[in-house]
Structure 1
Amino acid sequence: MPSKVVNPKPADNADALAHFQRLLSFETDCWDVHYALNNNLHDFVLLDVRGLDTARRGYIAGAVLLPYPSINEAALQAYPDDTVFVVYCAGPHCNATEKAAIKLARLGRPVKKMIGGVTGWLDEGFTLVS
Structure 2
Amino acid sequence: MSSAVSRPPAANSQDALTYFEGLLKYETDCWDVHHALTNHKQDFVLLDVRSEALFKQGHIDGAVNLPQPRLNESSISHYPEGTLFVVYCAGPHCNGTEKAAIRLAKLGRPVKKMIGGITGWIDEGFQLING
Alignment RMSD (CA, Å): 0.7
Aligned counterparts of 2:115 and 2:104: Cα–Cα separation in 1: 17
Paired AA for residue 119 in structure 1: T
Aligned counterparts of 1:89 and 1:34: Cα–Cα separation in 2: 16
- The alignment covers a number of residue pairs equal to 130
* Per-residue CA distance 1:31-66 (angstroms, 9 max, x = gap): 000010111112100000001111110000000000
Q: How high is the TM-score relative to the length of structure 1?
A: 0.98
Aligned counterparts of 2:11 and 2:51: Cα–Cα separation in 1: 39
Q: How high is the TM-score relative to the length of structure 2?
A: 0.97
What stretches of structure 2 of length at least 5 have no aligned partner?
Answer: none
In the TM superposition, structure 1's runs of 4+ consecutive aligned residues that sit over 3 Å from their partners are none
In the TM superposition, residue 7 of structure 1 has moved relative to its aligned partner by: 1.7
Aligned counterparts of 2:29 and 2:76: Cα–Cα separation in 1: 23
Note if 1:27 corresponds to 2:27: yes
Aligned counterparts of 2:25 and 2:117: Cα–Cα separation in 1: 17
Counterpart of 1:124 in structure 2 is: 124
* Per-residue CA distance 1:61-117 (angstroms, 9 max, x = gap): 000000000100000011011000000000011100000000000000000000000
Q: Give the match's secondary structure for 1:114.
A: strand
What stretches of structure 1 of length at least 5 have no aligned partner?
Answer: none
Aligned counterparts of 2:42 and 2:100: Cα–Cα separation in 1: 20
Which has the larger displacement, 2-11 or 60-69? 2-11
Calculate percent identity across the aligned residue pairs.
62
